[in-house]
A and B are shown apart, each in its own frame.
Chain A
């Protein structure tokens, strides 16, 4: 529910101030050379990478499941999900634990970078081509200083058959 509210905050610039609101704070992380951002209110925690248990017969971007203090949390490898080549995990590899529609999931990313305030006016609609990522998964492109951040739309990213319906799973 709060997620929906935040999304509106991102999509509709705050007319009165044009300045940052809570909804436009982003946790940024690296995947390869690129910088991505997720709405900070979606992030529950960041934890170091630990071995996960593979789930049989699931798409390859579903890395497996993890025991997060007694809860079973599925882990999505974003590189695979976005069709990027996999790399060996390093000490910087982390799992960002996010909450999407009341479900808790983990995203494996190369490294977390920063928490950035991105003003509404600095967020543009996603370009139709050029990004390494399918634009379906993007909410927009944010500018912060000289950095460009691809802002992820968590709802569309983690809905496609990953969460529901055993038969609708699609390999990314």
Chain B
């Protein structure tokens, strides 16, 4: 039971994440086009879905908060309020708060109640201005948009235990509720089924149920009583007025304020809190319970008072609890993946084909004769095709477009530009570049750091930009693309560029370099990746504390990638993250050198040619150069680099691959080109270590391992003339 429930909860959290993204995106767009009604409706729908889901799972805090947002959104939607920057900002802040609430609910961590309360109050205040204007509302709409803050309405809690003969007289409790709904907003309805007997003992015509309903209406008590007119006889009915925001149906709400939120996975089986039962059974009133709960102390506080633990010990224990819950949260994060149904349908079709091929094969095998050999071969080929395609598709399931990692930046840049008083325009490109899910998850933080860095350090304030004949609005450009079997992500700004002298001065001050060291530009820029390095003159809350850039470098390196910097004073800075496609599939050319097979990433191959007599020139100190149609390219003999025994040593017998890496071109000499195929990259580091010149390994058609060439590495080995410590 609890497992099923947890499963639905996971789905809910996934959905909520999507809805939140829609809300946030929508709000950002809304700022630009405040009159877009469609946009508002979209935001409203998403918010409403979050509220509905949260309510269903009993995440009261989330539901209540979303409800407040929804109230404000509804006013905007009805045109009773206009979208102002203040409102948009408040809604964005609320979205953040909602995110925190949901994360907390998910991981069971505690929430900063104060912030939630403050925002709730702000939302209520915004919504309140015109709330009076909307007293009456149609039933269809009011069911989804109750307004608790409206001043002229009253909230009643109705306890109704219908008579047992209810059904026998052809009356329907649902009808009653429908009528109540016409009066106003029917909030939470709690059904009490405690009187329900065993299934065998049930009389289908007897009503065993009772309800507690919360009704917000502009009508008075009499109108409500009238609804119950026909069932009044023998019914137990109590209608109480509730004042202010105090919600009559306390259910879990009372416990939330005093107990830290616990993981909800087991909520399905968790008994109701004692207080709830007492209130529900009418033993105590909600107010009495609240008072009692307010006096209740946390276990830690009691233990400290009794001197059983020291405050320090308590603090440590709480820290540990926090860590554990966040560790738990991380675990759940990687647990599931949302896949496009189209991908799954294709996979199912393929599996169907595989089953057919398999049955054809076993049929053939059961009565095989030699003359059927061609048929057998054909079927095996078909099996091969199927398998390959399935493999690709399955790998593809893990691949997500990088756009999911980019989507957070429009918001980030908006906030940053507001804070720093700069005008920033964000341009995204290459969002469709597919990347393994795990990689996408891990590059979010480094990218955030880089974008922040660009906004804060890179781009100048508008006046300064105008003084320098630049457009007032600065541009940050995020781009993702494949290059030579890697994925490159660039963060580019058209700001002031890195300040050579400032970095040098700082580095000397920090003792990173000596005062008289002469450094080339390429040696200076990486200094900013040193821990504790920041040249920002004033420390803002965005950057300047010197954490960040070293974290970027460390994170990217832990993924097996690199970070490089290009900068020009006054023109801007470009950070390039280069990531390996750890789990990705690449298109490769299989080549042979001696007995070994290597795979060259197709993306780095410009062309392959057979050299002619006289193309090779030897230059003293530079090695061999190859004259390819007038361009001289360094010649790399792969067998030299890898210490192999080749078939051909004269270039004219061999094949040349013209490869490009980071803008450099080289001619690599191999014995033969075998073919082109897609290969799945397997990690060498998992059980071994990184090998220079090799980007990874893959399983070839015959089941043996083939290596994927790292063109850059090969070039570097060739430059040094000797492989590292062979």
- Contact of A56 (CB < 8 Å), options: B643, B686, B689, B705: B643
Interface residue? B160 (CB, 8 A): no
A169 adjacent to B725 (CB under 8 Å): yes
A55 close to chain B: CB less than 8 A: yes
Is there contact, CB below 8 Å, between B682 and A56?
no
Residues of A within 8 Å of B706, CB to CB, are 53
Given contacts A53-B706, A70-B699, A72-B684, contact A167 B724 (CB under 8 A): yes
Q: Does A8 count as interface, using CB distance less than 8 angstroms? A: no
Taking CB atoms, residues of chain A closer than 8 Å to B175 are none
Residue-wise interface mask of A (54-65) relative to B, using a CB-CB cutoff of 8 A (1 in contact, 0 not): 111111000011
A67 contacts partner chain B, Cβ-Cβ < 8 Å: yes
Question: What does DSSP make chain B's interface, helix, strand, loop or mixed?
Answer: loop
Partner of A103, one of B596, B688, B699, B704: B688
Interface residue? A135 (CB, 8 A)? no
Can you name 10 A-B residue pairings with CB atoms under 8 Å? Answer: A52-B704, A59-B726, A65-B688, A66-B705, A67-B705, A71-B686, A72-B687, A72-B688, A105-B687, A164-B689
In the assembled complex, A148 has its CB within 8 A of some CB on chain B: no
Q: Which residues of A contact B (CB under 8 A)?
A: 51-59, 64-67, 70-74, 103-105, 162-171
A57 and B705: CB pair below 8 A?
no
Tell me the complex Cα distance, A46–B362, Å.
Answer: 31
Contact A104 B687 (CB under 8 A): yes
Interface segment, one of B41-49, B662-670, B690-698? B690-698
Least Cβ–Cβ distance between B691 and chain A, in angstroms: 6
Of the residues A58, A104, A164, A170, contact of B691 by C-beta under 8 Å: A58
B609 at the interface (CB under 8 A from A): no
Is B683 close to A, CB under 8 A? yes
Q: In the complex, what residues of B have CB within 8 A of residue A67's CB?
A: 699, 703-705
- The answer on a CB contact under 8 Å between A65 and B724 is no
Q: Which residues of A contact B707 (CB under 8 A)?
A: 53, 55-56
Query: In the bound complex, do residue A57 and residue B692 qualify as a contact, i.e. CB atoms below 8 Å apart?
Result: yes
Q: Are A72 and B643 in contact (CB under 8 A)?
A: no
A167 to B691, CA, bound (A): 10
Q: What CA separation (Å) do A32 and B83 show in the bound complex?
A: 85
- Cβ of B725: which chain A residues have Cβ within 8 Å of it? 166-170
Query: B642: which of A51, A56, A103 is its contact (CB, 8 Å)?
Result: A56
Interface presence of B61 (CB below 8 A): no
**Contact call B688/A56, Cβ cutoff below 8 A:** no
Contact mask for chain B residues 699-726; partner A; CB cutoff 8 A; 1 contact, 0 none: 1000111110000000001000001111
Complex CA gap A57/B692 in Å reads: 8
**Chain A proximity of B563: nearest CB distance (Å):** 19
Instruction: Name the B residues within 8 Å of A58 (CB-CB).
Output: 691, 726
Contact of A166 among B644, B683, B687, B692 (CB under 8 A): B692
Question: Could you tell me the distance between the alpha carbons of A166 and B689 in the complex, rounded to whole angstroms?
Answer: 7
At the interface, yes or no: B75 with Cβ under 8 Å from chain A? no
Per the bound structure, the CA–CA distance linking A66 and B641 in Å amounts to 22
Interface set of B (CB-CB < 8 Å, partner A): 596, 641-644, 682-684, 686-694, 697, 699, 703-707, 717, 723-726
Contact B717 A57 (CB under 8 A): yes
CA distance A54 to B188 in the complex (A): 70
Given A66-B705, A164-B689, A56 and B699 contact (CB-CB distance below 8 Å) = no
Measured CB to CB, the nearest residue on chain B to A165 is B689
Query: Complex Cα distance A66/B688, Å?
Result: 11
Given known A57-B726, A167-B724, contact A72–B683 (CB-CB < 8 A): yes
Q: List the A side residues contacting B717 at CB < 8 Å.
A: 57
Cα separation A165 to B692 with both chains bound (whole Å): 11
A166 to B726, CA, bound (A): 10
Distance, CA A54 to CA B689, complexed state (A): 14
Bound form: Cα–Cα A171–B725 in Å: 9
Partner of A70, one of B642, B682, B691, B693: B682
Partner of B723, one of A53, A56, A72: A56
Cα–Cα, bound, A57→B717 (Å): 10
Task: Determine which of A56, A74, A164, A168 lies in contact with B693 in the assembled complex, contact meaning CB atoms within 8 Å.
Answer: A56
Q: Which residues of A contact B692 (CB under 8 A)?
A: 57, 166
CB-based contact A57/B723 at 8 Å: yes
Cβ A166 vs Cβ B691 within 8 A: yes
**4 further interface pairs, Cβ-Cβ under 8 Å (given A67-B704, A71-B686):** A56-B694, A64-B705, A72-B686, A167-B724
Contacts of A70 in B (CB 8 A): 682, 699
Q: How far is the CB of A158 from chain B (nearest CB, A)?
A: 10
A103 to B21 alpha-carbon distance, docked (Å): 40
Among A59, A71, A104, A166, point to the contact of B690 (Cβ < 8 A).
A166
Report how far A58 CA is from B717 CA in the complex, Å.
13
Contact A71 B688 (CB under 8 A): no
Residues of B close to A71: CB separation below 8 A: 682, 686-687
Given A56-B643, A57-B642: A72 and B689 interface contact (C-beta under 8 Å): no
**Chain A contacts of B691 at CB under 8 A?**
55-58, 166
Rounded to whole Å, the gap between the CB of B88 and the closest CB of chain A is 50
Of the listed residues B643, B693, B726, the one surrounded by the most CB atoms of chain A closer than 10 A to its CB is B726
CB distance from B591 to the nearest CB of A (A): 14
Which A residue's beta carbon lies closest to that of B705? A53
Contact status A103-B724, CB under 8 Å: no
CA distance A87 to B699 in the complex (A): 28
> Which residues in A have their C-beta under 8 angstroms from that of B687?
71-74, 103-105
The answer to whether residues A65 and B705 also contact, given A57-B726, A72-B687, A73-B687 and a CB cut-off of 8 A, is yes
Contact of A163 among B643, B688, B699 (CB under 8 A): B688
Q: Knowing A67-B704, A105-B687 touch, does A53 contact B726 (C-beta < 8 A)?
A: no
Q: How far is the CA of A52 from the CA of B643 in the complex (A)?
A: 17
Task: Judge whether A56 and B644 touch: CB under 8 Å.
Answer: yes
Query: Are the CB atoms of A72 and B697 closer together than 8 Å?
Result: yes
For B705, list chain A residues within 8 Å (CB): 52-53, 64-67, 72
Pairwise interchain contact B596-A57, C-beta atoms closer than 8 A: no
Measured CB to CB, the closest approach of chain B to A143, in angstroms, equals 34
Nearest chain A CB to B20 CB, angstrom units = 37
CA gap between A55 and B704 in the complex, in Å: 13
- Which residue of the partner chain, among A74, A164, A166, A170, contacts B724 with CB atoms under 8 Å? A166
Collect the chain B residues with CB atoms within 8 Å of residue A72's CB: 682-684, 686-688, 697, 705
* Interchain CB contact (< 8 A) of A55 among B682, B686, B694, B703: B694
Chain A nearest Cβ from B592, distance in angstroms: 13
Taking the closest CB of chain B, its distance from the CB of A109, in whole angstroms, is: 18
Q: Are A56 and B641 in contact (CB under 8 A)?
A: yes
Q: Closest residue to A103 on the B side, CB-wise? A: B687
Give every chain A residue within 8 A of B686 (Cβ-Cβ): 71-72, 103
The interface residues of chain A lying within 8 Å CB-to-CB of B682 are 70-72
Q: How far is the CA of A64 from the CA of B704 in the complex (A)?
A: 11
A33 to B490, CA, bound (A): 60
For the complex formed, measure the closest distance between the CB of B600 and the CB atoms of chain A, giving whole angstroms: 14
B697 touches A65 (CB 8 A): yes
Q: State in angstroms the CA–CA spacing of A67 and B683 once bound together.
A: 12
CA–CA, A132 and B1, complex, Å: 62
| Nearest A-chain residue to B703, judged by Cβ | A67
Q: Smallest distance from the beta carbon of B59 to chain A beta carbons, Å?
A: 38
* C-alpha spacing A61/B723, complex, angstroms: 17
- Compute how far the CA of A54 lies from the CA of B594 in the bound complex, rounded to whole angstroms: 12
| Cα–Cα distance between A166 and B704 once the two chains are bound (Å) | 24
Q: With the chains together, A56 CA to B706 CA distance in Å?
A: 12
Residues of B within 8 A of A65 (CB): 684, 688, 697, 705
B691: nearest chain-A partner, CB-CB: A55
State in angstroms the CA–CA spacing of A150 and B630 once bound together: 64
Q: Is the CB of A163 within 8 A of B724?
A: no
**Complex interface: chain A residues within 8 A of B694 (CB):** 55-56
Bound Cα distance A66, B699 (Å): 9
